[in-house]
Amino acid sequence: MPCQSCGQAVGPIGAAAMAPPAAPIPPAQMPYGTGAGAPYGQQAAPYGGQAAPYGGQAANPYAGQQQFAGAYPGSAPAPMPAAAPAAAAPAAAPASPAAQFSVNVGGIKIPFKLGGGGGMSKFKIIGSVVLAIALSIAGVFIKMKMGGTAKGNLSYSSLGVDSKKPDGDKLITALATPAKKWKKDAIWWSANFQAVDAEGRVDVSKGAEVVYISENGVQSHAKSIRKDSIKKYGAGSAGVRHSDLWGATDPWEGVEKHPEPQCKIKDVMAIVGKQLPAGKTVRVTFDPKFADYYAWRVLSDNPKIDALYAFSDCSEIK
* Least confident among 49-53, 118-122, 180-184, 305-309: 49-53
pTM, full prediction:
0.56
Identify the residue with better confidence: 125 or 293.
293
What's the Cα-to-Cα distance from 294 to each of 190, 289, 305, rounded to whole Å? 11, 11, 19
Backbone angles phi, psi at 178, to 5 degrees: -65, -30
Backbone angles phi, psi at 82, to 5 degrees: -65, 140
Rounded CA separation 69/74 (Å): 13
Identify the residue with better confidence: 290 or 121.
290
Rounded CA separation 242/232 (Å): 6
Rounded CA separation 132/127 (Å): 9
Query: Over the stretch 15-39, which tens digit does the pLDDT of each residue have?
Result: 444 445 555 545 444 444 444 444 4
In what side-by-side order are the strands of the sheet with 316-317?
239-246, 230-236, 208-214, 186-196, 282-286, 295-300, 305-310, 316-317
Asked if pLDDT for residue 51 goes beyond 50, the answer is: no
Average pLDDT over residues 79-100: 54
Asked if pLDDT for residue 276 goes beyond 80, the answer is: yes
* Per-residue pLDDT, 102: 60
* Per-residue pLDDT, 50: 46
